[in-house]
Structure formats: structure tokens, C-alpha cells
Amino acid sequence: MAPNTKRVFYVNAVSAQIYLEIMAKRPDIQVDKLVNDSPKDEAERVLSQAHAYQIGSSRQELAMQYQGYTPLLQRCPNLVVLSTNGAGFDTVNLEDATAAGVAVVNQAGGNKEGVAEHVMAMMLALSKRIMLTDHAMRSGASYDRRDFMGDDVLGRTIGIIGLGNVGGRVADLCRGLFQMRVIAFDPYVSAEQMSAKGVEKAATLEEMLRSADYVSINCPHTAETRFMMGAAQFAMMQPHAYFITTARGGIHNEDALAQALTAKQIAGAGLDVWEEEPPPTDHPLLQFANVLVSPHTAGITRQSRHNIAKIAAEQMLDILDGKRPPRLLNPDVWPAYQDRFQQILGFRPEN
């Protein structure tokens, strides 16, 4: 192995094989693999030498000892970057990483098409009541097809929480396909930026919830967004409205949603993400016929996984070559990161 080799590791799996193929083209990069139950001696050898960690994005699939918190960072004295496998960063504590001088990046935008299309699929299935008719026809019981009267989505209103890569694509599809009115709540996107995309900016979450026929969650799970959809917020929605989330569990309060459905405060829900994944089979939300569910598969398409893996590999190589990454999640780390990078790898990253 060359003396200036940069060491990258991952645990369990990467998003797609293209990641390893791209990394393999660089003779100065060595990629190591660990698994959740790797022998301690093997794990410590890899961690002690690692410069970069391509980290999984699912809390449930990645052992706690390999999640990006202080205990792991203390075992990786040469680590300069944590790069998540997807847009989410639930397995990383940004404050811990910043305190350690470690940069954190994600692959935002890589799966926007897959996730946005999943939102549309749920919106259409709920509006057309497809899961109800499917269950009725398979049950063998008699039914009246008029009982399954649904709604067109043409010209209706969607409220989007979080107008980032996915939320922006949802807005494009809703406007372009169905000439929908799009309202968004996102304190980090200006009214001018939204207007340029044909989106109305809601001054408050309440304003958006009271106006929307569909509410789509497309923001990250952070301390700020934790349980932002609770009992009070579901009560603000219209009785005919549907709630859809493909973001992260924990942004909506599952108990509050179950109560809102029981009270018929909303018409139904489409849920791709859960507080515990997968949810237990006796989960209250799985008992509602008007709730359409999937096991966090919105971004799991062949194309999305390929895109994410390619972006991750290219961004990782740029980082290790000293370039400032475009998807830096903790920009405050940059001065300390530059110092550590130079000390560990022998040259200073660019400003």
C-alpha cells in the first residue's frame, strides 16, 4: 500500500456497486468493509486508520457503535469526514462531529425523483381509494362500487413542508401534471425563491395546513422538526385532506395521527417512514383501512440508488483531494476541519 493512501470504510453495505467501482479507479484510495458484528480487533484496526466513513443512513440497520456520535469519533483519530449514504443524516450527530473537527456531508438530491414519484403514487392511490377497492375485491365480500367514490387531483391544493430537492420536485410534478396550487412552508426558502418555482410561500404552518387538500412532509428530521405535526396541527387540516410523509419518522407524532384518523379529522394518510422501522405488525396506524403504508422504500429505486452511490463516490474523492464539498451539513466546522485535514493528510483543503 502506498504511503499516502487514503483510507475509507463503510459498514454493511453501500448504496450501489457503482460506489466501489468509482473508488477502485483511484490507486491512492483503500476501501475497507466492516459489518455490525465485526470482530473487535478487526474493527479497531480499520477505525484507527480511517480518514473517511461512508455511513449508512438508517438508525435501525446500523449498530449504535458505528453511528456518528462522540464514542465512534473517539475511536477514529484520523477521521476527517462522515458521508451519509443518502439525503438523511439520522445516524450522525452534527454537534459531535463539529466539535471533533469532522465534516459531515450527505447526498441530497440523489433520490429526489424516486421519493417525489412515491409522493405522487400515494396521493393518487389515496384520492382514487385504490387500496380500499383492492382489499374489497380480494375479500370475497359483497360491495357497492359507488361506496369507493374518490376525487380527482386536478386543480387541487398541495401543501409541502420543506421545499428542498424532493419538495421542489413534488411541486414541479403537481404543477406540471395536475395544474395544482402549491403552497409551501419552509422558513429557509424566501418568497421570491418560491415564486420563481410557481410556489406560494405560507407565512405559517397553520396557514398552509388550513388551505391544503394534501400535506406532504419533505424536510429533514432535526430537533427543530421533531413532532412538528402533532395533535394541534392535524386538527388544523381539512376533513377531506390527506397526510403524506416520505421524509423521516419522528417529524409527525404517530399517536396524534392515529387519534386524528379515529376522530375523522382527516380523510387518510400515506406513510413511508416510521419512528420504529419496520413498525410492529400491531402498530395502531396499520389498523386503518384509509392509511396506505410502505416500509421506507420511497427512495429505494434502482435509479435512485445508483445516483446516490455515484454522487457519494465523486463527492468523497473531491473531499479527499482537498475540495470543499457542495453538500456540507456543518459549515461551521470548516476552519477546524482544514487544520485537522492538513495535520492528518499533509495538505490544506481549499477555501
Candidates 117, 200, 277, 314; catalytic one: 277
Name the grid cell of 207.
396557514
The C-alpha cell 387531483 sits at: 153
The reply to whether 296 belongs to the active site is yes
Report d(CA 71, CA 119) in Å as an integer: 37
Q: Which of 7, 51, 221, 248 is catalytic?
A: 248
**Cell triple for 320:** 479527499
Q: Catalytic site residue 277?
A: yes
How far apart (Å, rounded) are the C-alpha atoms in residues 12 and 16?
12
Q: What is d(CA 224, CA 132) in angstroms, rounded to the nearest whole number?
A: 35
Q: Residue type at 78?
A: N
Cα separation of 269 and 103, whole Å?
37
Q: Buried b / exposed e across 122-145, counting CB within 10 Å, b at 16+?
A: bbebbbbbebbeeebeeeeeeeee
CA 257 to mean position of chain CA atoms: 20
Q: Which of 118, 200, 214 is nearest to 159 (CA)?
A: 214
Q: In what order do the strands lie in the sheet with 103-105?
A: 29-34, 6-11, 52-55, 81-84, 103-105
Residues annotated catalytic, as ranges: 248, 277, 296
